[in-house]
Structure 1
Amino acid sequence: MGIASRDSLRDWLRAPGSLSRRLARLGQRFTVQVLRQRVVPFRALERAALGLPPRGLTVVREVILRVDDAPMVWARSAVHQRATIGPWRAIKGLGSRPLAHLLYDDYRIHRSELKPRRLARHGHTRRHAARQWLAATGEAMPAQMLWSRNSVFDRCGAQLRVMELFAPGLRGQRPGRR
């Protein structure tokens, strides 16, 4: 996917506020399909983004965001395991509700700058997302699905990293208002 492909997703990569709320405006039905939520060892990028020590565990939640049953976004959130008994404890009971319910209704939560990133076609994150996408949808992840955005949310000194990987079906769609 070249510059033209990123440009067609540029508005989505930079849109502030709740991605879930923006997606919900594209159709009649918005759903969150939870792929997994569990405790895993830190990944280097997540550890660096969250300013965590070299060793430890993180609670990871991976989902597919769907509009009218069409998969639009694969997303991964990660938070230090200790934060789930403190500032981010509500993540444990989130279920299939969007993470936005926690992130945008609390004035104590602050978001970092959005950082667009092109994933390596054969990198670990892309391969992992592709396996989950296939299992959840029955279809291979589109080869053009390489652009993501990352941000970190801070609540009372505890950080949560969110990475969202956009399907090419969003090209040409306008993200609209929050």
Structure 2
Amino acid sequence: MNNKSSLYPKEPTWFCNRLKSRLNIPDNAASWIYEPGSITQRLRDYYGSRVRVQVLKNQWQRAFISESKLLKTSPIKYTLTREVLLYADDIPLVLARTILPKQTISSAHRNLSHLGNRPLGEVIFSYPRLERLALEITQVPVHSWRSSIQQMMLVTQPLWGRRTIYAIHHHPLLVSEFFLPAILNH
């Protein structure tokens, strides 16, 4: 069994941001996909301190091949993989997967490897020279999620997501975020 992700057995199909017009993204999903700031901050603006993080996975492992290509790392190198659920008032809002190469963690003075239940967005958006290098979009069919995620999140419809390459001190990290139905009402 492929254990690279606790979210899905094989990674979703990602599309270049330039295909927006062909993807027919609904406005409520586009609002989150194209959010220029921190998703965490936007959630905090709405829910306040009720926003919580549940860590689903946090371990060193090999990334998916497309993730390695985007990060320009060798597919045989280990990266820190962190998968989380952001929720508020027991309502699941966002599933996220972050791939952190060792050099990026070192350049960020190890702040990224000891997040615990702190949202990644609160940390990376505090860096004054955070760069957003690329954005890709997906819509993940229900059957593509692991059954445990389908049951825990009550996934009954395809989920929109985005995959963003950020850079801290010119060192990349990859953040994939999937927007659960409850978030689309905000």
Q: Which interval holds the TM-score relative to the shorter structure?
A: 0.7 to 0.9
Which 5+ residue runs of structure 2 have no aligned equivalent? 1-22
- Contact 2:107–2:169 (CA under 8 A) maintained in structure 1: no
1:142 to 155, 160, 163: 155
- How many angstroms apart in 2 are the aligned matches of 1:155 and 1:86? 7
Q: How does 1:1-178 map to 2 (within 5 A)?
A: 6-28=26-48, 29-87=50-108, 89-123=110-144, 126-127=145-146, 131-132=148-149, 134=151, 139-173=152-186
* Inter-CA distance 133–99: structure 2 relative to 1 (3 Å threshold): farther
Work out the percentage of aligned pairs sharing the same amino acid: 28
Spell out, residue by residue over 1:48-97, the C-alpha distance to the aligned partner (whole angstroms, 9 max, x if none): 21111232111011110012221100000001134333436211221111
CA RMSD of aligned residues (A): 2.2
Task: For residue 37 of structure 1, report the CA deviation from its aligned partner.
Answer: 0.6
Q: Secondary structure at the match of 2:61?
A: strand
Letter in 2 for 1:92: S
Spell out, residue by residue over 1:103-124, the C-alpha distance to the aligned partner (whole angstroms, 9 max, x if none): 111112211243221225444x
* Inter-CA distance 112–50: structure 2 relative to 1 (3 Å threshold): same
